[in-house]
Structure 1
Amino acid sequence: MTRTEDVDWPFGNDADQDDPLTKLRIAVTGRHPRWCYLVAFDRGSEARPTDAEAAMLASYLIEYKYHWYNDSYLRKLHRRPLDVDGGANGVIFRKYGVDDWGYRRQSWTHGPMYVPQSPKVRGVGLGRVGLGPLTLAQVMDHTHQNVDEVSPRWLEWKAAHPEVFPPEG
């Protein structure tokens, strides 16, 4: 799905230009992209996001941008077709299957590739407790977690957008 002949596409083969997620400003890329995308989806995922999950990814990106950036920097971000910031520690999401997601930060160099890990290796090894499967909303909560508490800011965002994040349970 990558198209490289378009000179207005600055990302080359690093991100897929024609993927439907790209229209939502979600980079579709590999697990180690060259660009520092704020939010990305791993093109090597075993499954694709549903429309509802794609809306969650887009909302996650919007919340991130409007929390961390002022209007001037938002205008700078929007000059490109995808949101990139070399100073940000972007999140790459991976979908293993139905209601089974993981994520990684671009800065991670040690430890598991994704949290939670792939179903193929969950719980493997002496004393290892496997986390997962987790829905996309649960994984997003995990990205906003400090120790055992999910950020109140993130919880307020989800509560203010029930059309995207329906109450769980």
Structure 2
Amino acid sequence: MTTTWPFGADADRDDPLVDLRIAVTGSHPMWRYLVAFDRESPVRPTGAEAAMLASYLDEYKAYWYNPSYLGKLAGRPLDVDGGANGVIFRKYADGDWGYRRQSWTMGPLYVPQSPRLREIYSSEAFGPYTLEQVMDHAHTIADDKPIKRWLDWKASHPDVFPT
């Protein structure tokens, strides 16, 4: 792995999440990180939540990338791909998470919306969601249950996603 930091101020170099290859950045980073944590979150992830973020990243890479491309990703201190629609996670409070895709240009900043907006729009808003519920939502198509590959991943990692 390189020892230089190619991301400048876009991602925090010395944050402990970087050891798990999780970018710590803002809500609209310049780089296309596969998985990121919003540095403006009011609360930091617990150790168990950090392991979930790392596992989410591992699942993404295992599904989308071949061994050759995984080798290219490993050449940088964080996983980035210009064609990826990375996910940025935000922790509002204990047990209260949101996420956004980097491609989103309209709609709420994070899903579910912040606690403040949930108070304002209580009849239309949902949440709070735990980190696992947010990850499930990110793997759900057409308001159904999460896709099978994600459910299989979680089932094969009970140390990270206990039932």
Q: Which runs of 4+ in 1 moved over 3 A?
A: none
Q: Does 1:41 align with 2:41?
A: no
TM-score under structure 2 length normalisation: 0.96
Show structure 2 runs of 5+ residues with no match: none
In structure 2, C-alpha distance between the alignment counterparts of 1:153 and 1:97, rounded to whole Å: 29
1:15/1:28 contact within 8 Å kept: yes
Spell out, residue by residue over 1:128-163, the C-alpha distance to the aligned partner (whole angstroms, 9 max, x if none): 421100000000000000111210100000011010
2:86 corresponding residue in structure 1: 90
Higher RCO (CA 8 Å, separation ≥ 6 residues):
2
1:10 corresponding residue in structure 2: 6
The 5 A counterparts of 1:1-169 are 8-125=4-121, 128-147=123-142, 148-167=144-163
Q: Which amino acid aligns with 2:33?
A: Y
> How far is 1:123 from its partner?
4.9
In structure 2, C-alpha distance between the alignment counterparts of 1:54 and 1:149, rounded to whole Å: 24
Spell out, residue by residue over 1:5-54, the C-alpha distance to the aligned partner (whole angstroms, 9 max, x if none): xx700000000000000000000000000000000000000100000000
In structure 1, C-alpha distance between the alignment counterparts of 2:123 and 2:65, rounded to whole Å: 39
Show structure 1 runs of 5+ residues with no match: 1-6
- Number of residue-to-residue matches in the alignment: 161
Spell out, residue by residue over 1:37-74, the C-alpha distance to the aligned partner (whole angstroms, 9 max, x if none): 00000000010000000000000000000100000000
1:36/1:84 contact within 8 Å kept: yes
> How far is 1:124 from its partner?
2.4
Q: Which amino acid aligns with 1:39?
A: V
**What RMSD over aligned residues (CA atoms) do the two structures have, in Å?**
1.4
Q: Secondary structure at the match of 2:162?
A: coil
Q: Which amino acid aligns with 2:112?
A: P
Q: Secondary structure at the match of 2:104?
A: coil
Please state which structure has a larger fraction of its residues in helix.
2
